[in-house]
Amino acid sequence: MIQSIFSGLSAYKDSISLMRKLRLWKFFAVPMAISFFTALVIGITAYGLSGNIGHFIAQLWVWEWGAQTVETISTVVGALIIIALGLIAYKHIIMAFSAPFMSPVSEKIEAHFYPGVHQHRDTTNAGQLVRGIKINLRNLAWELLISIPLLLLSLIPVVGIIATALLFLIQAYYAGFGNMDYTLERHFPYRESVNFVKANRGFAIGNGIVFMLFLLIPVVGIILVLPISVTAASKTTLELLEQQNNE
């Protein structure tokens, strides 16, 4: 698992040069716009709702002593909860609606590395969008089911450190999952793709770790995260498919 995670991480080192060599930037204009505006909406929502959630949490403190401090802390906690849930939603929104633009990127990368065995499934943009929405709705449901308990546990001292680390890895896994599926879409139907990623979860986590870290970079991170992570994931997924075919 650890080695697989590092392999997923190392795939990023050639991403920008590969994008430049294959002239992939033109495919990323719309996904970049989707990413930016989705992040903007989530940020505005977090700002608007943090006070309401903070006030609700503060009401659990029934004493007047320290009430103002509790209100302030609760507002911050409310914002963090909204941002954490927003990040989960953000990943799946941009991945689902970027599918018609990311699949051609993955296809060009495959044609570059494996020209003799290049595969192309006859799917339309609409089909790719439906597939992207289906995969990401499935992943969103599972991620929320796992993440909400971890999010609550993260508020508990000491236990919160472990819960936060697990929460980050869960988010990384599903980010990598979505990035890998742009390649798997041409090779496997829905269920087989899910099983493939499960069998190679370390690579998905490695790819997703960098994806999540990119989001910490103001503005630039949310614009560049999808192009770079999808390029890295495509290269990794193609290598895994080649290994599987040779076994």
Q: Over the stretch 198-209, which tens digit does the pLDDT of each residue have?
A: 999 999 999 999
What's the number of domains the chain is made of? 1
Question: Exposed, middle or buried, 150 (CB in 10 Å: 0-12/13-18/19+)?
Answer: buried
Do the beta carbons of residue 109 and residue 75 sit within 8 Å?
A: no
| DSSP string over 116-127 | GG-------HHH
CA distances from 120 to 17, 34, 177 (A): 24, 26, 20
Predicted local distance difference test score (pLDDT) of residue 246: 74
Output the pTM of the full model.
0.83
Query: What is residue 66's predicted lDDT score, i.e. its pLDDT?
Result: 63
Quote the CA–CA distance of 59 and 227 in Å, as a whole number.
Answer: 44
Q: What is the pLDDT of residue 51?
A: 66
- Name the maximum alpha-carbon separation found in the chain: 73
Domain-located, residue 247: no
**Pair 95, 134: CB distance under 8 Å:** no
The beta strand positions in 39-151, using DSSP E, are: none
Q: What is the pLDDT of residue 197?
A: 94
Domain-embedded: residue 84: yes
Please give the residue range of the domain that contains residue 232.
Answer: 2-118+127-240
Three-state SS at 61: coil
Contact 18, 231 (CB under 8 A): yes
139 inside domain: yes
Q: Is residue 246 part of a domain?
A: no
Q: Which helix H or strand E contains 157, and what residues bound it?
A: none
230 within some domain: yes
Residue with tokens 């403190």: 61
Q: Is 20 exposed, middle or buried (0-12, 13-18, 19+ CB in 10 A)?
A: exposed
Is the Cα dihedral 129, 98, 28, 210 positive or negative?
A: negative
Tens place of pLDDT per residue across the chain (247 aa):
888 888 888 889 888 888 888 888 888 888 888 888 888 887 787 777 766 666 666 666 656 666 667 666 777 777 777 777 777 888 888 888 888 888 888 888 988 888 866 555 566 667 778 888 889 899 999 999 998 888 878 777 788 889 889 989 999 999 999 999 999 988 888 899 999 999 999 999 999 999 999 888 877 788 888 889 999 999 999 999 888 877 6
Within-domain flag for 43:
yes
pLDDT for 62: 59
Does some domain include residue 53? yes
